[in-house]
């Protein structure tokens, strides 16, 4: 007890001697030094003239791009950043035609074309963003050094992704400092696209190494199997990854046993181009020299993979990958009669394959087809890397394309020449751009979105509030449609993104640079369709770089966090993502349980489709409002207008689905 009293007395004495004012002074000094340090960092990194020590939010006050066209901005009334963006876009379109018709392959090789693209990209970036181009160069330089200096491709890919996301985070935080809530065009937009390019390239190199090792292992295993076959041992059918068998029924067999006989021929893996089981339905042979393996060849080979263990062949001649493969590839089970299955099983019963141990050690068995399609076999040299990071027709607003597609563009695709120009598409694209400009410039100012956060909006009746929100958000989306249509025009003029010829119109298509589906967004039947139709290139990036590689238990959470960080740190972003995730799960459950009841009658099905379109649109606008309001309390205040009824209904549906699922599990266990 005496010790306790002594400690309490000592504490009281220390507290009495400690000056409260001194604590406040020290805290203020620490806070001021932190603000000063951050202001200095923001000024050095972003190149903006932020007043040192001033941490008050700014909006639209800082732009470091060219001021050459300031008289034009004053004459038109448009901000200088938007004027520079439009002029830069016109410059990219003109230079795109120059790259397509003047510096075209095979007259100019990929290296020369890459150098020209990098120089033209640096020019337009410096014109629009001034000295902020150093922000992009620093991110790219560090990433390239990591790819060079780290021999382990997996570790290098992880470090590049961590570096790019951390760097983008710093850029977003700096923007919150000097342009809070503003829409001034700065380098943060190109940095978001560059982050996608660098992170995807690092994993594409990893996939290239995986695929190369896998193919070398299969080739070596194929040689071993061929040697064993020469010694009189029958080939093993459980590993058609290693062995490819040409199966032909004997047409002149006399007995039933002869009818079940097959001719077996063993191939080395480097001799296999396509599935030869059914020549009528087999894909055509071709080899893409710009990638390790082309998608058609890879998918046709994947159809031959068997999951069955040695000696336990069950007659399934396809793998778990075959369901996601191309429809042109023919699974083995479609060419074998049921009478042949017993013969195969008997042949495998007492056979111990030579390649069993080697095959099971291969760690790249489950490489998805799209990863193999985008795999890169070698690290790009400095010129190719700089071109991919800064190519002019994707420098301002993207869209993101995989490095493999960009390298195909530099070399002139398979034919080593630029494909034709789609004239009909050009007319449609120009009309689309004109309409979005008209809606954005003429109609949107009469219905400003900022009104939803004002006192005047609260005085409207419910129907008018709902209608005003829908129309204003629709007009906001026109800005994105305009930017993405302009980006599609710039890339197509240069020839990037070619995917083949339309079988109906016979016009070349450039689907790799299409970043939105207008009807898929505005007339969607589900929220999943909205997500798949909006910012398509970012969806592909998130799916391939993060979703496919994350552990199964955290795939959705990982993609949600990455997407949130990639967009920025306004609270409204996170509210929108969380609400969208909740509504997406609800939509999925609702369609699964209720859709079959409304598909029995054609008339009812039409009404159901209209109902789902209306509900989807309401849910989309309701959730999307937080993204544009940005702040937490403004979003909560708007949702209060609807008394959070959409959130409540969604929670009730999810709860009912959970209870129903748990009941089913209990019933199954009882029976």
- The band of 505, judged by pLDDT with boundaries at 50, 70 and 90, is confident
Helix (H, G, I), strand (E, B) or coil at 359: helix
DSSP secondary structure of 14-25: HHHHS-HHHHHH
pLDDT band at 551 (very low <50, low <70, confident <90, very high): confident
Of residues 415 and 198, the one with the higher pLDDT is 198
> Is 241 part of any domain?
yes
CA 578 to each of CA 134, 245, 558, 654: distance values in angstroms, whole numbers, following the listed order? 34, 51, 13, 14
Phi, psi of 14 (to 5 degrees): -65, -40
Of 321, 350, 379, which residue is a domain's last?
350
Sorting pLDDT into bands at 50, 70 and 90, what band is 595?
confident
Is residue 635 over pLDDT 60?
yes
**Phi, psi at 151, each rounded to 5°:** -70, -30
pLDDT exceeds 60 at position 301: no
Q: What is the mean pLDDT of residues 477-489?
A: 95
In this model, does residue 296 exceed pLDDT 60?
no
Instruction: Kindly report which listed range (87-91, 188-192, 591-595) carries the lowest average pLDDT score.
Output: 591-595
Residue 480 lies in a domain: no
The residue among 327, 350, 373 that closes a domain is 350
Band of residue 407 on the pLDDT scale cut at 50, 70, 90: very high
In the chain, the percentage of residues whose pLDDT exceeds 70 is 71
Q: Give the residue, 180 or 305, on which the prediction is more confident.
A: 180
* pLDDT tier for residue 281 given thresholds of 50, 70 and 90: very low
pLDDT tens readout for residues 24-76? 666 666 666 766 776 777 777 777 766 655 555 556 567 889 999 999 999 99
**Looking at the domain assignment, is residue 252 inside a domain?**
yes
Say how many domains are in the chain.
2
Is residue 552 over pLDDT 60?
A: yes
The predicted structure's pLDDT at residue 478: 95
Q: What is the pLDDT of residues 139-184, one digit of tens each?
A: 999 999 999 999 999 999 999 999 999 999 999 988 887 788 888 8
pLDDT in tens, 347-391: 344 433 333 333 333 344 568 888 989 999 999 999 999 999 999
Tens digit of each residue's pLDDT (9 = 90 or more) over 184-235 = 889 999 999 999 999 999 999 999 999 888 888 888 877 665 555 544 444 3
Closest to 621 (Cα-Cα) out of 372, 495, 449, 500: 449
CB 499 within 8 A of CB 404: no
Residue 270 has pLDDT above 60, yes or no: no
Q: What is d(CA 322, CA 240) in angstroms, rounded to the nearest whole number?
A: 13
Query: Per-residue confidence at 592, pLDDT binned at 50, 70, 90?
Result: confident
* pLDDT on residue 330: 39
**Residue 41, token pair as written in the block:** 């960092």
- Distance in angstroms (rounded) separating the CA atoms of residues 569 and 548: 25
Percentage of the chain with pLDDT > 90? 45
Q: What is the average per-residue pLDDT within 236-252?
A: 35
Q: Please, what is the average pLDDT of the chain?
A: 77
Q: Tell me the C-alpha distance between 614 and 525, whole Å.
A: 9
**At CA 51, angle to CA 50 and CA 54, rounded to 5?**
110
Q: Is residue 384 part of a domain?
A: no
Q: What is the pLDDT of residues 654-670, one digit of tens each?
A: 999 888 877 777 887 77
Q: How many helices (H) and strands (E) does the chain have?
A: 26, 2
DSSP 468-492: HHHHHHHHHHHHHHHHHHHHHHHHH
Residue 239, pLDDT > 70, answer no
The answer to whether the beta carbons of residues 160 and 145 sit under 8 Å apart is no
Q: Is residue 144 part of a domain?
A: no
Partners of 534 in beta bridges: 516
Q: What is the pLDDT of residues 466-482, one digit of tens each?
A: 899 999 999 999 999 99
Q: What are the DSSP calls for 244-259, one per residue?
A: -----B-TT--SHHHH
In a 10 Å sphere around its CB, with 0-12 CB exposed, 13-18 middle and 19+ buried, how is residue 645 labelled?
A: exposed
Per-residue pLDDT at 350: 41
Mean pLDDT of 248-254: 38
Q: 327 versus 633: which is more confidently predicted?
A: 633
Per-residue pLDDT, 63: 86
Question: Domain limits at 302?
Answer: 234-350
Residue partners of 109: CB distance under 8 A and separation at least 6:
none
Residue reference for tokens 């190719």: 384
- Of 52-56, 88-92, 562-566, which gets the smallest average pLDDT? 52-56
pLDDT band with cut points at 50, 70 and 90 for residue 236: very low
Confidence of residue 253 (pLDDT cuts 50, 70, 90): very low
């Amino acid at each position: 007890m005496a010790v306790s009293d002594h400690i309490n007395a000592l504490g009281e004495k220390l507290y009495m001697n400690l000056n409260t004012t001194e604590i406040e002074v020290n805290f203020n000094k620490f806070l001021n030094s932190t603000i000063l340090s951050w202001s200095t960092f923001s000024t050095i990194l972003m190149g903006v003239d932020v007043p040192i020590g001033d941490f008050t939010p700014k909006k639209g006050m800082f732009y470091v791009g060219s001021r050459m066209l300031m008289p034009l901005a004053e004459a038109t009334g448009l901000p200088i950043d938007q004027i520079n963006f439009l002029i830069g876009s016109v410059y990219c379109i003109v230079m795109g035609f120059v790259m397509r018709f003047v510096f075209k392959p095979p007259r100019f090789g990929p290296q020369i074309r890459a150098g020209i693209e990098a120089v033209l990209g640096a020019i337009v970036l410096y014109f629009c963003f001034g000295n902020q181009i150093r922000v992009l160069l620093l991110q790219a330089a560090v990433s390239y050094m990591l790819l060079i200096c780290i021999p382990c491709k997996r570790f290098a890919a992880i470090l590049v992704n961590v570096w790019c996301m951390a760097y983008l985070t710093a850029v977003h935080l700096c923007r919150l400092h000097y342009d809070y809530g503003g829409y001034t065009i700065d380098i943060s937009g190109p940095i978001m696209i560059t982050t996608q390019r660098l992170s995807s390239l690092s994993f594409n190199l990893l996939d290239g190494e995986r695929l190369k090792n896998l193919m070398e292992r299969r080739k070596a295993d194929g040689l071993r199997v061929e040697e064993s076959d020469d010694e009189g041992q029958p080939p093993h059918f459980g590993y058609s990854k290693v062995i490819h068998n040409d199966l032909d029924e004997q047409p002149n067999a006399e007995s039933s046993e002869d009818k079940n006989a097959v001719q077996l021929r063993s191939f080395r893996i480097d001799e296999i181009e396509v599935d030869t089981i059914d020549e009528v339905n087999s894909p055509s042979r071709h080899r893409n020299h710009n990638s390790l393996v082309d998608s058609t060849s890879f998918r046709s080979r994947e159809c031959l993979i068997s999951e069955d263990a040695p000696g336990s062949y069950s007659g399934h001649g396809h793998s778990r990958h075959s369901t996601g493969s191309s429809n042109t590839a023919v699974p083995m089970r479609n060419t074998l009669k049921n009478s042949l299955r017993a013969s195969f099983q008997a042949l495998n019963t007492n056979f111990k394959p030579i390649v069993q141990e080697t095959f099971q050690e291969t760690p790249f068995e489950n490489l998805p087809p799209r990863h193999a399609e985008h795999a890169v076999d070698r690290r790009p040299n400095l010129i190719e890397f700089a071109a991919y990071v800064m190519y002019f027709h994707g420098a301002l607003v993207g869209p993101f394309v995989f490095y493999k597609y960009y390298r195909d563009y530099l070399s002139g695709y398979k034919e080593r020449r630029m494909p034709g120009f789609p004239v009909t598409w050009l007319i449609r694209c120009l009309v689309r751009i004109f309409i979005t400009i008209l809606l954005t410039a003429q109609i949107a100012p009469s219905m400003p979105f900022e009104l939803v956060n004002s006192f005047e909006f609260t005085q409207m009746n419910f129907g008018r509030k709902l209608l005003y929100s829908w129309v204003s958000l629709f007009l906001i989306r026109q800005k994105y449609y305009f930017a993405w249509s302009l980006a599609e025009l710039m890339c197509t003029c240069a020839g990037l993104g070619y995917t083949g010829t339309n079988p109906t119109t016979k016009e070349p298509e450039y689907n790799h640079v299409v970043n939105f589906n207008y009807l898929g967004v505005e007339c969607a039947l589900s929220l999943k369709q909205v997500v798949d139709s909006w910012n398509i290139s970012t969806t592909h990036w998130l799916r391939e770089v993060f979703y496919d590689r994350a552990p199964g238990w955290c795939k959705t959470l990982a993609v949600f966090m990455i997407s949130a960080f990639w967009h920025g740190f306004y609270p409204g972003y996170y509210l929108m993502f969380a609400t969208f995730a909740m509504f997406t799960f609800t939509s999925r459950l609702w369609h699964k349980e209720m859709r079959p009841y409304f598909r029995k009658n054609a008339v009812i099905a039409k009404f159901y489709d209209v109902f789902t379109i209306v509900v989807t649109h309401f849910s989309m606008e309701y959730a999307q409002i937080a993204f544009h309001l940005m702040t937490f309390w403004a979003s909560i205040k708007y949702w209060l207008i609807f008394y959070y009824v959409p959130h409540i209904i969604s929670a009730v549906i999810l709860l009912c689905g959970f209870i129903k699922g748990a009941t089913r599990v209990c019933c199954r266990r009882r029976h």
